[in-house]
Structure 1
Amino acid sequence: MKKNRLLLILGLLLAVTFVLGACGTADEEEDTTGNNGDNTNTEDATDGGEETDFSVAMVTDTGGVDDKSFNQSSWEGLQEFGEEYGLVEMEGYTYAQSESDADYSTNLNRLVQQDYDLIYGIGYLLADAVSTVAEQNPDTNFGIVDSVIDADNVASITFKEHQGSFLVGVAAALKSESGKVGFVGGVDSDLIKKFESGYRAGVKSVDPSIEVSVQYAASFGDAAKGKAIAASMYNSGVDVIYHASGATGNGVFAQAKDIKNNDPDASVWVIGVDRNQYEEGAIGDTNVTLTSMVKRVDVAVKSVSEQAMNGNFPGGEILEFGLADNGISVADTNEEAYTEDIATVVEEWKQKLLDGEVEAPSTEEELEAYLETL
């Protein structure tokens, strides 16, 4: 009887030992995922060796993500960043389009709630909204393009637009046959005045007698208004128009192409802005885009995104991109229109700007002072 009891006790002990051993093995198997049983894969899933849990988004102004200009360039920068680091579009990187000013705060807050690590406001029109939302969400990083916000969780991205505008002004003066050129601005503001001031200075540097017509559309998203302004300018004898008006500029291109369609020998030109707008000027076998003042918003957005992803977000800093660091350039795609002679002279003025021999004006006051020196 005692022998039978002893065998029973030994059997129970062996059973308990087996169960405990099995539990220990299960725990150990969970630990092999690398996070105490958490099955999230933290191994590198990208070609660049970066983790894929970083996310970035942007909010457009009313011009929209396909404005063929400023917003589109920004989105192209995010797309390049997302593709290079293996992020999934609309999850790892995305955009929110604003139909009106009232959408800015709504879109920013929605992206914050979706836990994006870095959120850009594209354009100075979003500055107030970004400032407010950033203050309310100190643990989220933000970027503002074309404005400055004094906050530790906001990186301010600016450009020396007046430098590039000066150079395309030189090109416009050299190309003009009528002695009349034009400038179409979006919203009349300190920012767009940088484009206008630089452009007018460049034109006058080549020939002080050239007339420069200036008109603002009061919108960055009104192509019809842009077309009407361009029609008036071309009808008055202007043969080169530089626009700094976002999607409004699509109307400027449309009008130039309409004129060229009706009269293939007409000498009408458009200077694009923000990105190389050569394709926007295509009409049959010719092209009305003389050149473009290329503002590398795509490069800036990608650069700041990489810094943030790597733990080096430049919060509280003012970043400025210009000719010296290739943040600003002049497109030479249309070789038939933007001739070697024009390119040579533009390059000479570029060197003067880089050497400090000439300083492009960025305000009306600076422009007036500059013109007095000519």
Structure 2
Amino acid sequence: MTAIRIGLPGALLVLLLVFASLVQASIKPAVAYTDGKKFDSSFNEAVFREGVSKFEGKYGIEVTEVNPSAVAEFEQSLRNLAEQGHSPIVAVGFSYADAVATVAAEYPALQFTIIDAVVNAPNVQSLTFKEHEGSFLVGALAAMKAERPVLGFIGGMDLPFIRGFACGYAQGAHHVDDDSQVLVRMMGDTPDVWSNPAMGAQYANALFTDGAEIVYAAVGGSGVGVYRAAKNAGKLAIAVDSSQNYLHLNTMLTSMVKRVGLAAFKSWEQAAHDRWRPGVHRLGLAEGGVDWALDIFNRQLVSLEMEARVNELREAVIEGDIEVVDYTVADHCPVPLVGL
């Protein structure tokens, strides 16, 4: 009998293949996007590019994707994935809360992850973000950039966590210039406001008419209308969720990035390595969950002095030297929000 010798490189390859097969056998990931387009330049697209694509590229494991067209389809979409044995199932957005609670109870052996909401269940991982911290930074930058201290904010649905964006933004602006005014407008109380660019443009134009120089929008896919309106009006805009600095040259001051894609990726990766845990996980500046975006697309709008000052504020928040009040906890904002 002839012995077969495997050198060190060959042995490592065998071990990697064995590891990959073990990971593939233990995880069957899926994602349920929120209603609206998958490539929405916002929440869904961020989850796809930084979550799905990155995970598939690193582990060679396909992530099954569904994109319901309406909130009414959420529960059945999750149930279909669960019936096929997918786990973890990542649900994108707070609108999935009721559907996740219902389906997770029906399939207690499966793992569910919800982004931007809290569902208290033994098989649910709730990933939320400290949006007020990232919003503080972009509010500070806006106050540095504005010639007059009048800024605007547009929210989608009038919800506590959306008010949290506005409050953080206003706190950052007031930290730089206490004479700052932040004009706040909410688009509506139904989920369709997240995917209505024409309405976003109307609200932006109204704020520009009221004197706002820079508008920060937390409106999901409707943001593309806000940014287009800013370009047409010769004003500046701040995007949210994923970096959208590239959209309109000399219009996008920055983006407050919520790394929802990274959050989804980590949830699947944790499961692949048997480290997935249920419970509430809050991601802020210190955890890399939120930040401000500076790149070649907005470099010409942000001076080196502004960059240095924003980054100093960033470190001060992380170190606890600056406390940014979380509206969702305090139920009030320590600085004025004009219009609320």
Asked whether the two chains share a fold, i.e. TM above 0.5, the reply is yes
In the alignment, structure 2 segments of 5+ residues that lack a partner are 1-13
> Whole-Å Cα distance in 1 between the matches of residues 54 and 333 of structure 2?
42
The equivalent of 1:215 in structure 2 is 185
Matches within 5 A, 1:55-134: 55-76=28-49, 77-87=51-61, 92-134=62-104
- Assess, with a 3 A threshold, how the Cα gap between structure 1 residues 94 and 287 changes in structure 2: closer, same or farther: farther
Following TM superposition, by how much is the alpha carbon of 1:50 offset from its aligned partner in structure 2, in angstroms?
5.3
Query: Which letter maps to 1:149?
Result: V
Matches within 5 A, 1:198-209: 198-209=168-179
Following TM superposition, by how much is the alpha carbon of 1:257 offset from its aligned partner in structure 2, in angstroms?
2.2
Matches within 5 A, 1:252-267: 252-259=226-233, 266=234
> Whole-Å Cα distance in 2 between the matches of residues 331 and 252 of structure 1?
18
- Assess, with a 3 A threshold, how the Cα gap between structure 1 residues 136 and 59 changes in structure 2: closer, same or farther: same
The equivalent of 2:273 in structure 1 is 310
Q: 2:203 aligns with which of 229, 235, 238?
A: 229
Q: What is the number of equivalent residue pairs in this alignment?
A: 315
Following TM superposition, by how much is the alpha carbon of 1:114 offset from its aligned partner in structure 2, in angstroms?
2.1
Q: 2:238 aligns with which of 264, 267, 271?
A: 271
In the alignment, structure 1 segments of 5+ residues that lack a partner are 1-41, 260-265
> Whole-Å Cα distance in 2 between the matches of residues 133 and 346 of structure 1?
43
| Contact 1:105 1:129 (8 Å CA) reproduced | yes
Following TM superposition, by how much is the alpha carbon of 1:369 offset from its aligned partner in structure 2, in angstroms?
6.1
Following TM superposition, by how much is the alpha carbon of 1:336 offset from its aligned partner in structure 2, in angstroms?
0.6
Determine whether 1:361 maps to 2:329: no
> Whole-Å Cα distance in 2 between the matches of residues 195 and 62 of structure 1?
22
Secondary structure of the corresponding residue to residue 51 of structure 1: helix
Query: Which letter maps to 1:271?
Result: I
Q: Which has the greater radius of gyration? A: 1
The equivalent of 1:327 in structure 2 is 289
> Whole-Å Cα distance in 2 between the matches of residues 258 and 164 of structure 1?
27
TM-score normalised per structure 1: 0.79
> Whole-Å Cα distance in 1 between the matches of residues 333 and 106 of structure 2?
43
Render the CA deviation track for 1:314-360: whole Å, top value 9, x for unaligned: 12x21121111222111112111022121122122212212212211
The equivalent of 2:109 in structure 1 is 139
Following TM superposition, by how much is the alpha carbon of 1:98 offset from its aligned partner in structure 2, in angstroms?
2.3
Determine whether 1:347 maps to 2:311: yes
| Contact 2:23 2:273 (8 Å CA) reproduced | no
Query: Which letter maps to 1:330?
Result: W
The equivalent of 1:22 in structure 2 is none
| Contact 2:170 2:335 (8 Å CA) reproduced | no
| Contact 1:69 1:247 (8 Å CA) reproduced | yes
Secondary structure of the corresponding residue to residue 299 of structure 2: coil
Determine whether 1:185 maps to 2:185: no
Determine whether 1:289 maps to 2:252: yes
Q: Over the residues paired in the alignment, what is the CA RMSD in angstroms?
A: 2.2
Query: Which letter maps to 1:329?
Result: D
> Whole-Å Cα distance in 2 between the matches of residues 227 and 131 of structure 1?
35
| Contact 1:56 1:94 (8 Å CA) reproduced | yes
Query: Which letter maps to 2:136?
Result: F
The equivalent of 1:301 in structure 2 is 264
Render the CA deviation track for 1:136-183: whole Å, top value 9, x for unaligned: 111111001111111111111111111000010000111111321100
| Contact 1:45 1:52 (8 Å CA) reproduced | no
Identity among equivalent positions (%) equals 32
The equivalent of 2:223 in structure 1 is 249
| Contact 1:146 1:191 (8 Å CA) reproduced | no
| Contact 1:144 1:154 (8 Å CA) reproduced | yes
The equivalent of 1:6 in structure 2 is none
Moved over 4 A (4+): 42-50, 364-369
> Whole-Å Cα distance in 1 between the matches of residues 333 and 160 of structure 2?
17
The equivalent of 1:194 in structure 2 is 164
Q: 1:153 aligns with which of 108, 113, 123?
A: 123
Query: Which letter maps to 2:242?
Result: R
Query: Which letter maps to 2:285?
Result: L
The equivalent of 2:301 in structure 1 is 337
Matches within 5 A, 1:2-81: 51-53=23-25, 54-76=27-49, 77-81=51-55
> Whole-Å Cα distance in 2 between the matches of residues 107 and 179 of structure 1?
46
